[in-house]
Amino acid sequence: MLLYPILFLGATAALAAPTCTSAAGNNTVALYLSSGAIAGLQLALYLENLEVNFFRSASANITRGDVAQGISNATLDAISVAAQQEQVHQTTLQNILLAAGASIIPECQYVFPSRNTSEFLSLGRSLSSVGVSAILGLAETVAILDSNLVSGIASIAATEARHDAFFNVANGQLPNPAPFDTPISSTWAYNLALKFIVPASCPVELPITILPTLSTQIILQSNQTSMKFSWDPAQNPVIQENGKDLFIGWVSQLGSPVYTPLKSISNGTGTAAVPFGLKGVVYTALTTQNTLMSVDDLTGATLAGPAIVLVDQQRVLP
């Protein structure tokens, strides 16, 4: 079907038209998508809005030839190119939604805790990992509901993965830390984005469940055997499961979640053993379940989370 390539290619020319034209350029074509695919694309746009603004915020903190921090001009050039590509992704998703007669998701107000180039690169490592995981989850959705979108979504995912590899290398890590990336659910992706969004600043709120926050260290050393977690015990999901054994669910690559018991330190804090062999990006969630076999099932049983964990396995020179 020619319509989908036109929509994706149209964005590269910065076209933001509400409909898509045919190859002849004189026919308006309506795009019909399932409600599930539209919801997934709206979430993807919500996340792209965040990424576009993350790169936009860098202009206030990054200067060319930041010699004092050892940041090369080549690194700054790569950031500039990635910023332009994120804008193309944003326009692409807007085009598709508008052509389908669906509402686009406007930008919110954002806050990013990066004050200089090094902090920007560090935060970019986690944000880019979430972006890859979220778009992989979307690819699974459209593969089932609207398969004609798969190649375009996969193309975005491939570029997002290159951005992720760049941020890994910029942080002294391998560009390819694991053989597979880690898909996550739309609910998890949405909640991971919320920490960077000013409350009540979004013109349109997505109808996605907001989960209590789970806090832990972002960087996990490869030889580390346990991690400390904290959460708000006064949140309803936690209260409803009061008295039950707690677990941390670990989601890594394409495998089923792995569960380790949470040993309580105090009300709202505890430690859990780190599963063996974790690589790359890992997502963790607090739950009372320890047998659920899919990310979607674990999402439904999440009491707090997710929290992203990045495994430092090998230091390499950028």
The answer to whether 89 and 55 have CB atoms below 8 angstroms apart is no
Residues 64 and 190 in one domain: yes
List the CATH number of the domain containing 252: 2.60.40.10
**pLDDT at residue number 43:** 97
Residues 185 and 232 in one domain: no
Residues 170 and 22 in one domain: yes
Query: From its phi and psi, is residue 158 left (phi > 0), alpha (psi between -120 and 50) or beta?
Result: alpha
Using only the alpha carbons of the chain, give its radius of gyration: 20
* Residue appearing with tokens 């739950």: 287
**pLDDT at residue number 70:** 67
Residues 219 and 136 in one domain: no
* Predicted structure pTM score: 0.89
Residues 237 and 187 in one domain: no
The answer to whether 211 and 237 have CB atoms below 8 angstroms apart is yes
Residues 174 and 63 in one domain: yes
**pLDDT at residue number 302:** 98
Tell me the pLDDT of the chain (318 aa) as tens digits. 334 544 554 444 333 333 343 333 334 457 889 999 999 999 999 999 999 999 998 876 676 545 446 678 888 889 999 999 999 999 999 999 999 999 999 999 999 988 888 889 999 999 999 999 999 999 988 888 898 899 999 999 999 999 999 999 999 999 999 999 999 999 999 999 999 999 999 999 999 999 999 999 999 998 899 999 999 999 998 888 888 999 999 999 999 999 999 999 989 999 999 999 999 999 999 999 999 999 999 999 999 999 999 999 755 444
Report yes or no on 70 lying in a domain. yes
User: Between the CA of residue 42 and those of 9, 135, 192, what are the distances in Å?
Assistant: 19, 12, 16
* Residue appearing with tokens 């920490």: 195
Of 161, 194, 227, the residue at which a domain comes to its end is 194
Report yes or no on 201 lying in a domain. no
Amino acid of residue 161? A
Report yes or no on 206 lying in a domain. no
Of 194, 226, 260, the residue at which a domain comes to its end is 194
Angle of helix 3-12 relative to helix 150-170, nearest 10 degrees, comes to 30
Report yes or no on 204 lying in a domain. no
Of 194, 226, 253, the residue at which a domain comes to its end is 194
Report yes or no on 271 lying in a domain. yes
Residues 117 and 231 in one domain: no
Rounded distance, CA 155 to CA 159, Å?
Answer: 7
Residues 37 and 177 in one domain: yes
**pLDDT at residue number 115:** 80
Mention every residue, 6+ apart, whose C-beta is less than 8 A from residue 53: 107, 110, 112
Residues 179 and 235 in one domain: no
**pLDDT at residue number 239:** 87
List the CATH number of the domain containing 115: 1.20.1260.10
Report yes or no on 74 lying in a domain. yes
Residues 182 and 146 in one domain: yes
**pLDDT at residue number 141:** 87
DSSP string, the chain: -THHHHHHHHHHTT---SSEE-TTS--EE-----HHHHHHHHHHHHHHHHHHHHHHHHTTT--TT-GGGT--HHHHHHHHHHHHHHHHHHHHHHHHHHHTTPPP-----B-----SHHHHHHHHHHHHHHHHHHHHHHHHHHHHH-GGGHHHHHHHHHHHHHHHHHHHHHTTS-S--SSS-----HHHHHHHHHTTB-TT--SS--S-PPPPPEE--SEEETT--EEEEEE-TTSHHHHHTTTS--EEEEEETTSPPEEEEEEEEETTEEEEEPPTT--SEEEEEEES-S---SHHHHHHT-SEEEEEEEEE------
Residues 285 and 138 in one domain: no
Residues 84 and 153 in one domain: yes
Report yes or no on 153 lying in a domain. yes
**pLDDT at residue number 59:** 73
Query: How many folded domains does the chain comprise?
Result: 2
Residue 222's domain comprises: 214-312
